[in-house]
Copies of this chain bind each other. A is one copy, B any other.
Amino acid sequence: MAQVTPDFSKMGGLVPAIVQDAESGEVLMLAYMNEEAWRKTLETGKAHFYSRSRGQIWLKGETSGHIQEVREVLLDCDADAVLLKVKQHGGAACHTGYRSCFFRRLREGQVEIVGEKIFDPEEVYGRKGA
């Protein structure tokens, strides 16, 4: 029987989860799941993660409404990384307002902004930020 649960042992109970736009293939973000976030993601079809800074489960889009509807769940060869293919509601995954968290490209030691800004974080999260 193939293993259908990620191996949470290598990172103290967490696995990294890559989130990719199911339509465009754009990589939107990387976050972490513990076993509860994994289970809730499968049960609800909405991406849940574990916040290392807050020490708690987090429904992506809970504040912003920009939830991620899970279309596909993939495991890597060692089952220690997860890939979610999602429909990104609200058009943007990043709390900074960019479509993808990976909006900064490194070129010859300089950073250039290559991402598309979809919303103003102050309007979505209020002036205190995310």
Q: Contacts A10-B52, A18-B30 given; indicate if A101 touches B72 (C-beta within 8 A).
A: no
Tell me whether A81 and B30 are in contact (CB under 8 A). yes
* A1-59 residues at the B interface, CB under 8 angstroms: 2-4, 10-11, 16, 18, 20, 24-27, 29-30, 42, 52
Closest to A72 in B: B105
Give this chain's copy count: 2
A18 neighbours in B (Cβ, 8 Å): 18, 27, 30
Q: Contacts A26-B25, A77-B103, A105-B74 given; indicate if A4 touches B96 (C-beta within 8 A).
A: no
Tell me whether A75 and B4 are in contact (CB under 8 A). no
Question: What CA separation (Å) do A23 and B5 show in the bound complex?
Answer: 30
Closest to A101 in B: B76
**0 or 1 for each of A48-85: is its CB under 8 Å from B? (1 = yes):** 00001000000000000000000011111110010100
Let me know if A126 is at the binding interface, CB within 8 A.
Answer: no
Interface residues of A (CB under 8 A from B): 2-4, 10-11, 16, 18, 20, 24-27, 29-30, 42, 52, 72-78, 81, 83, 94-96, 98, 101-106, 109-111, 114
